[in-house]
Copies of this chain bind each other. A is one copy, B any other.
Amino acid sequence: MQNNFTIFNTLSKKKELFKPLHPPFVGIYVCGPTVYSHAHLGHARPAITFDLLFRYLTHLGYKVRYVRNITDVGHLENETLGEGEDRIEKKARQEQIEPMEVVQKYVNTYHKNMDQLNTLSPSIEPRATGHIIEQIELIKTLIKSGYAYESNGSVYFDILKYNQKYQYGKLSGRVLDELINNTRDIEGQDEKRNPFDFALWKKASPEHLMRWPSPWSNGFPGWHLECSAMSIKYLGEEFDIHGGGMDLMFPHHECEIAQSTAALGKESVHYWMHNNMITINGQKMARSLGNFITLDQLFSGDHPALEKAYSPMTVRFFILQAHYRSTIDFSNEALQAAEKGFQKLMKAIDSLNKMKPSDHSTIDLIKLKEKCYEALDDDLNSPVLLSHLFEGVRIVNSVIDGTEKIDVAGLEMLKSLFSTFVFEILGLKDESAGLNDDKLTGNLMKIIIDLRQAAKNNKDWSTSDKIRNELKNAGVVLKDLKDGAEWEHE
């Protein structure tokens, strides 16, 4: 199986031709959500980015195993320093329910939102709490090989030891000496040989609810460990692609690399892919800034910063309008522009489906199709792909206004082009079906009531009665008023 697909590998900092380890199989691991609150804009972007990757590789004929985890333990409040309360336990305390009830609630809403955004389900969606044994086994291996040490019931990864043989910081470009100088001393750090060592296993404090037995203590795994354990379990010691948001590059992915490399003696991941961040009106999204927008709020318009509701497909289109490695700034203006663009695209596809062919064609679609593939092959360049698809929109409109002609074969090819790239690969879908029915019914009823009034004005009682009876058969009841009529569903 051949392809021209290139990926910008965050590790090598350059675009590389994608060569899967075991074609036709492709393994992808993507860091999923920590399920302690509602999914927000920051969850939509990686989900859509790697959904596009999943869809494109599948379209190219690969058998893709796409693993995206659910973090349901071990993600502490301060993730850089690896300290603070477990995010899920904190929420459980606030809501006075079990940690696993928090997990269930937010897994459910996450799945609902992902469905709305039309992202496909991953092939496997493993949970951290479901793989405690695998994480304990990995820690045993790391202790045995000297890269981890126990201290007071907790186990830490020894970064200095690792750095003697390997290079800590190679993904994010951080230099260990600088890290050492910039790491402040914090409480409990006396357990660690060095303050930047990170936890593989934490002994549970007395009030900690989520805990499991281990050779070291009753405790819980460190946040970084789950991804190493689960990617090895479901994709093997070496696999093709690891994805996630750029904010996870340090320390999360850096620690993953250290863990897996130390345990396996080799690089585990062949291609690292990171989507860039989003901003809102130029600012970082943060609860403290009042611009923290959940997906539910975005879809309903129920947030002071939103002028209106934006449909899931508007949001998907908006995210795809930027290359995944660029930042995106959310604003009402930009979203409304995306909404218009998306509607224009859908309208053109609708017109195309009703179009009658000419006996000859004046347009070259083969070139256009090639350009669409070239855009995707260029590190999933979805904005360039969209610009080519809008060339298709221009063609549709030119055929409608008569400046271009399209024959039967051309019509089929253009339909197939939109079907493949817009729906199958970009994962957009037409949201209008069914939406405007109420409005249409209202308009049609207005026409019928006016016609009946005209008949009555002409004393054409047979027509007037006939209309009433036919409406009744259709399930609509007319009620005559002094000046006109009201109607309702039977």
CB A428 to nearest CB in B, in angstroms, measures 19
A98 is an interface residue with CB less than 8 A from chain B: yes
CB A95 to nearest CB in B, in angstroms, measures 12
A164 is an interface residue with CB less than 8 A from chain B: no
Which residues 462-488 of A sit at the B interface, judged by CB distance below 8 A? 463, 467, 470-471, 473-476, 488
Q: Are A130 and B133 in contact (CB under 8 A)?
A: no
Instruction: Give the contacting residue for A445; candidates B131, B444, B454, B463; CB below 8 A.
Output: B444
Q: How far is the CA of A131 from the CA of B475 in the complex (A)?
A: 55
A447 is an interface residue with CB less than 8 A from chain B: yes
CB A400 to nearest CB in B, in angstroms, measures 12
CB A56 to nearest CB in B, in angstroms, measures 20
A121 is an interface residue with CB less than 8 A from chain B: yes
Which residues 349-372 of A sit at the B interface, judged by CB distance below 8 A? 350, 354
Of all chain B residues, the one with the shortest Cβ separation from A447 is B470
Known pairs A440-B475, A444-B474; A488 contacts B354 (CB<8 A): yes
Residues of B within 8 A of A467 (CB): 447, 451
Q: Are A474 and B440 in contact (CB under 8 A)?
A: yes
A124 is an interface residue with CB less than 8 A from chain B: yes
Could you write out 18 A-B pairs with CB less than 8 Å apart? A65-B97, A98-B123, A98-B124, A98-B234, A104-B121, A104-B122, A104-B123, A111-B111, A137-B213, A354-B488, A437-B438, A437-B441, A440-B476, A443-B475, A447-B470, A448-B448, A448-B451, A451-B467
Query: Closest 3 A-B residue pairs measured CB to CB?
Result: A130-B130, A443-B474, A437-B437
Q: For the A-B complex with A447-B474, A451-B467 known, give 17 more contacts whose Cβ atoms are closer than 8 Å.
A: A97-B123, A98-B234, A101-B124, A103-B124, A104-B121, A104-B125, A111-B111, A130-B130, A132-B133, A437-B441, A440-B475, A443-B474, A447-B448, A447-B471, A448-B448, A448-B451, A451-B451
